[in-house]
Amino acid sequence: MDIEGKVAFITGTRRIGRLVGVALGQRGAKVALGYHRSRESAEQAAQEVRAAGREAMLVQADLSHEEEISDAVKRINAAWDGIDILVNLASVYASKPLEETTRSDWDLNMNVNLRSAFLCAQAVTPGMKARGGGRIINCADWTAASGRPRYRGYLPYYVSKVGVVGLTEALALELAPHNILVNAVAPGPMVPPPDLTPEAVEKVRAVTPLGRWGGGEEIARAAIGLIESDFITGECIRIDGGRHIF
């Protein structure tokens, strides 16, 4: 797909999502930046897209609510007459022991990490079909793409991300006849969380074969490559510096 002139909807524009949105804008896309609470990050991304001479709009939505997803897609369609690219990056990530994990914790992970990706894809596909095709990029995790958990304390998160891999494959099969290609990126050690200690940051670096954290730009590059490809679908690409082979 030639990104020039296309309409892209990015969910979760804090941190990595901001970089993906800016990269798409720099390649000529109109970019709708979805956010729930991180308006400042979305506004920063919008400014960078506009600085590249492209249009950008902010779309606030709580992706755990189906009606807000529908309203967000309607707003983008009204402004730009359709969506060609959907990048589902909204995600929650938190550690909690099994005995302390509540049903609310489970539901939050499933709703934001998995259910919202399904609902967003379902909302945009009628328009993509009418436009002759499209691209959907989901966000999994390097552990889920590797087929086994690696850390205790992330049960609902891990299960939700395994679900994202399955969702990607099933959507790819369903939508292939309509020239809608669906893939996933599976980030590994990209950007250290702000609450991570220097010792923990160094430990992750030490067990990553390439010997460093990747940086969010690597996710943007991978997403761009999958969007531009016309023959990759149903794939989940690990971007983890070789962490899965250590």
Q: Enumerate the active-site residues.
A: 157
Q: Nearest Cα to 19, choosing from 236, 184, 215? A: 215
Q: How many CB atoms lie within 10 A of CB 103?
A: 8
Instruction: Check the CA dihedral 68-111-215-23 and report its sign.
Output: negative
Cβ contacts of residue 222 below 8 Å, gap of 6+?
A: 185, 237, 239
DSSP category for residue 112: I
